[in-house]
Amino acid sequence: MSAATILEEEQKHALHSREFGFWIYLMTDAVIFALLFASYAVLAENSAAGPTSNDLFDLSRTAIETGLLLVSSLTFGMASIALMHDQKGRVVQWLFVTLLLGLAFLAMEMGEFGGMIEKGAGPEVSGFLSAFFTLVGTHGLHVAFGSLGIVVMIGQVLVKGLTAPVRSRLMRLGLFWHFLDIVWIGIFSAVYLPGVL
């Protein structure tokens, strides 16, 4: 075998390992979120005479956030389909749309956080708010990292083209992005919905 083919073989194996490893990484991240959810469940009623979830949560705002994030998962899916068909331009376009949706979500979330802090409902007010800001903020931080990843991957697709490593990275970034969607559904169901009921 020539050096080039053996490198290619090895690379295929390495990329498979990375995809498997990424699943395990996602699992460790899922444990982090699970414990942050548990912390929230323990502290949700501890508003310490400060504002409660009924005073603070606004379902219509959350609905828009949820819409943005769910649609961004769809558009990332479109990018993955374009990747299957080797349509480089389409991949970049859909990634860009996903990035915009992600940034819009982040902007809305920051607006929400900012509004709460302005109202005197910052994380240092009560156990409830500490747990809320940490759980939702950790999710937001992940979305920010994911957005950074999309920027890097748009660059890689444009510069390197749809090579095997780039495809693998896009696939892993997609896993990460959809994972964040699932976590958000958890946040919507366990934080916002019970909060206004």
Partner 1 sequence: MLGRLTVEALPFYSWVAMGGAAVTVGGGIAVFLLITWLRAWKVLWTDWLTSVDHKKIGIMYVVLALVMLVRGFVDALMMRAQQAFSLNSEGYLPPEHFEQIFSSHGTIMIFFVAMPFLTGLINIIVPQQIGARDVAFPFLNSVSLWMTAAGAALVLISLVVGKFSQAGWTGYPPYSGVEYSPGVGVDYWLWALITSGVGSTLSGINFIVTIVKNRCPGMTFMRMPMFTWTTLCISILIAFSFPALTVVAGQLTLDRTLGFHFFTNGDGGNMMMFANLLWIWGHPEVYILILPAFGIFSEVVATFSRKRLFGYTSLVYATACIALLSFTVWLHHFFTMGSSANVNAIFGIATMIIAVPTGVKIFDWLFTMYKGRIEFHPSMVYTIGFMVTFVIGGVTGVLLALPPADYLMHNSTFLVAHFHNMLIPGALFGYFAGLNYWFPKAFGFKLDTKWGIRSFWCWIIGFYLAFMPLYVLGFKGMSRRMEHYADPTWQPYLIVAAIGALFVLCGIACIAIQLYVSARKWGSARDITGDPWNGRTLEWATSSPPAPYNFAVLPEVTDIDAFHDMKILGQAYQPPQHYEDIVMPKNTWIGPALGALAFALGFAFVWYIWWLVALCFVLSLVCVGIRASDDNSEFVLPAAEVARIERERLAQISPADMHDMHDYVPRGAASGAPLTGTV
Residue found by looking up tokens 């990634």 in the block: 95
- Residue 169 in the binding site for partner 1 (CB under 8 A): yes
- Rule CB under 8 A: is residue 139 a binding residue for partner 1? no
Interface with partner 1, residue 55, by CB under 8 A: no
Token output for 37: 């959810």
- Positive or negative torsion for Cα 145, 186, 21, 90: negative
* Region for residue 87 given its phi and psi (left: phi exceeds 0; alpha: psi -120 to 50; beta: otherwise): beta
37 lines the binding site for partner 1 (CB under 8 A): no
Place of tokens 């899922």: 30
Task: Show Cβ contacts of residue 117 under 8 Å, excluding neighbours closer than 6 positions.
Answer: none
Number of residues interacting with partner 1: please give it, by CB under 8 A.
48
* Candidate list 64, 72, 83, 125; residue touching partner 1; CB under 8 A: 125
- Binding residues for partner 1, rule: CB under 8 A, are 1, 3, 6-7, 10-11, 13-14, 16-18, 20-21, 24-25, 27-29, 31-32, 35-36, 39, 42-43, 46-48, 50, 123-131, 133-134, 148, 152, 155-156, 160, 163, 165, 169
